[in-house]
Amino acid sequence: MTSAIALSSISKTFAADAVPALNGVNLDVLPGTCTAILGPSGSGKSTILRIIAGLEDPSGGGVFVNGVDMTSVLPENRRIGMVFQRPLLFPHLSVIDNVAFADRAAGLSKAEARRNALRFLDMVQLEEFASRPIRSLSGGQEQRVAVARVLAARPAILLLDEPFSALDAALRDDMHQLLADIRASLSPTVLLVTHDRDEAAAVADRIAVVEGGQLLQHDTVDRIYHRPSCRAVARLMGGRNFVDGVAHDGAHHSAVGRVTVDENIPEGPGALVVRQEAIAVATASPSRSLAADEFAGVVSAVQRNGARRSIVIGVDEIDIHAELPPGVNLPVGAPVVFTLPRESVSVVAR
Ligand code: ADP
Ligand code: MG
């Protein structure tokens, strides 16, 4: 299948003496999928979107949309819609005329453009606000209008640059549902920039992790969490366990012990990574010896983490972070046993 978006060795340097903002980025996005570009501030996320949209020229490499080289295609001819963190609406136009703007610019009559606009206002649940002035809307409503306005131009590709990050948590959940509705009814290819891993996991099929202008890993949400390609990805996904050791013969060996690992892991020095929420912890019973896949330790710290508690288990000099199920508590000093589910452990060589 031809990629809806293909980036080939994209680099971008803004000034001759500056560190490159992007360095050899390759990315393939299949039609109708949603990929989240996740990375810290300044990692190059917006630059990637701006280059795809044609708002910025790459210093090297190529952008292909449905297999077509975009080098000489003007931004307005790329059939790409972009939504930014701020709605950037026309303040002097009503809600409906903001949404009707693309059709008006394309030469449709006012009546026809407004008729089309209503359909998209309906989709973002703002049809009752059609004749309102923009300044009477809340921030969340303004962002919905911005989404409707972009959709009304019928883009094949939707680029979203942290569009929900200025909204409070409840509104953000509504916007995630709206994005799911839009995907179900219009099937655009979506690239969503975010620095929020929970948002990425909630809305995207795949995550592209960037740091320092480089694409570290592009994979399914599950694999990004459970099979990170390197420490940086594990850390950006909130992973807390990095146990240095050596991998050989399908297992990782460290002071924690021998941990069987499923995947074809790189042999040699590497860190065992295991998601803190995947570790199963139980109180140790003195009358029972350890099973083959069990490890023993002592609780050295307890933290509250929303409705759950997180603990640190000391094993020799190593700290293992684990999240307890809701309602479960273990005191500092408690001897515990724990298992590391094989589907959640991996080894990273760097
Ligand atoms: P992100 O969206 O991940 O926060 P950006 O893509 O905006 O990151 O920026 C990546 C890097 O490129 C940053 O170091 C930023 O300062 C730099 N940069 C972005 N746009 C420009 C510009 N127009 N001129 C100079 N430097 C820029
Ligand atoms: Mg940005």
Please tell me the predicted confidence (pLDDT) of residue 292.
84
Please tell me the predicted confidence (pLDDT) of residue 350.
85
Asked if 1 and 62 touch (Cβ cutoff 8 Å), the reply is: no
Report how far residue 144's alpha carbon sits from residue 123's, in angstroms, rounded to the nearest whole number.
9
pLDDT digits over 315-338, tens only? Answer: 999 999 999 998 899 999 999 999
Given CA atoms 75, 80, 84, 86 in this order, what sign does their dihedral have? positive
Residue nearest to atom 1 of ligand 1 (CA): 42
Please tell me the predicted confidence (pLDDT) of residue 166.
87
Helix, strand, coil abundance in the chain, percent, nearest 5: 30, 35, 40
pLDDT digits over 99-142, tens only? Answer: 999 999 999 999 999 999 999 999 999 999 999 999 999 999 99
The verdict on the CB of residue 62 being under 6 Å from ligand 1 is no
Distance 136 CA to ligand 2 centre (A): 28
Report how far residue 44's alpha carbon sits from residue 20's, in angstroms, rounded to the nearest whole number.
9
Residue nearest to atom 20 of ligand 1 (CA): 47
Asked if 81 and 52 touch (Cβ cutoff 8 Å), the reply is: no
Question: Do the bridges between strand 206-211 and strand 34-38 make them parallel or antiparallel, or are there none, so unpaired?
Answer: parallel
Residue 16 binned pLDDT confidence (cut-offs 50, 70, 90): confident
Q: How far is CA 274 from CA 241, 285, 343, in A?
A: 6, 24, 9
pLDDT for residue 217 is more than 70: yes
Hey, what are 83's tokens? 């939504």
Report how far residue 72's alpha carbon sits from residue 54's, in angstroms, rounded to the nearest whole number.
9
| CB hemisphere CA count around 175 (13 angstroms) | 27
Hey, what are 117's tokens? 């606009």
Distance 162 CA to ligand 2 centre (A): 7
Among the bound ligands, name the one nearest to the CA of residue 21: 1
Residue 79 binned pLDDT confidence (cut-offs 50, 70, 90): very high
Given CA atoms 298, 245, 346, 192 in this order, what sign does their dihedral have? positive
Distance 52 CA to ligand 1 centre (A): 15
Q: Which strand ranges, in their side-by-side order, compose the sheet holding 251-254?
A: 257-260, 251-254, 242-248, 268-274, 345-348
The ligand 1 atom nearest the CA atom of 210: 3
Please tell me the predicted confidence (pLDDT) of residue 306.
84
pLDDT digits over 267-295, tens only? Answer: 899 999 999 999 999 999 888 888 888 99
Distance 36 CA to ligand 2 centre (A): 13
Please tell me the predicted confidence (pLDDT) of residue 265.
80
Give the pLDDT mean for 203-230. Answer: 97
The ligand 1 atom nearest the CA atom of 56: 23
Distance 53 CA to ligand 2 centre (A): 14
Share of the chain above pLDDT 70, in %: 100
Residue nearest to atom 14 of ligand 1 (CA): 42
Q: How far is CA 77 from CA 71, 73, 90, in A?
A: 12, 6, 22
Residue nearest to atom 13 of ligand 1 (CA): 42
Q: In the predicted model, what is the mean pLDDT of the chain?
A: 94
Give the pLDDT mean for 184-205. Answer: 96
The 10 Å Cβ neighbour count of residue 68 is 12
pLDDT for residue 313 is more than 90: yes
Among the bound ligands, name the one nearest to the CA of residue 85: 2
Distance 44 CA to ligand 1 centre (A): 6
The verdict on the CB of residue 47 being under 6 Å from ligand 1 is yes
Q: 73: exposed, middle or buried (C-beta count within 10 Å: 0-12, 13-18, 19+)?
A: middle
The verdict on the CB of residue 44 being under 6 Å from ligand 1 is yes
Residue nearest to atom 6 of ligand 1 (CA): 44
Among the bound ligands, name the one nearest to the CA of residue 210: 1
pLDDT for residue 263 is more than 80: no
The ligand 1 atom nearest the CA atom of 41: 4
Exposed e or buried b for every residue in 226-265, given b needs 16+ CB within 10 A? bbbbbbbbbebbebbbbbebebeeebbebebbebebeeeb
Residue nearest to atom 21 of ligand 1 (CA): 14
Please tell me the predicted confidence (pLDDT) of residue 285.
85
The 10 Å Cβ neighbour count of residue 329 is 12
Residue 8 binned pLDDT confidence (cut-offs 50, 70, 90): very high
Asked if 51 and 58 touch (Cβ cutoff 8 Å), the reply is: yes
In angstroms and rounded to an integer, the radius of gyration of the C-alpha atoms of the chain is 24
Taking each continuous run of H as one helix and of E as one strand, the counts in the chain are 9, 20
The verdict on the CB of residue 250 being under 6 Å from ligand 1 is no
pLDDT for residue 48 is more than 80: yes
Report how far residue 265's alpha carbon sits from residue 114's, in angstroms, rounded to the nearest whole number.
58
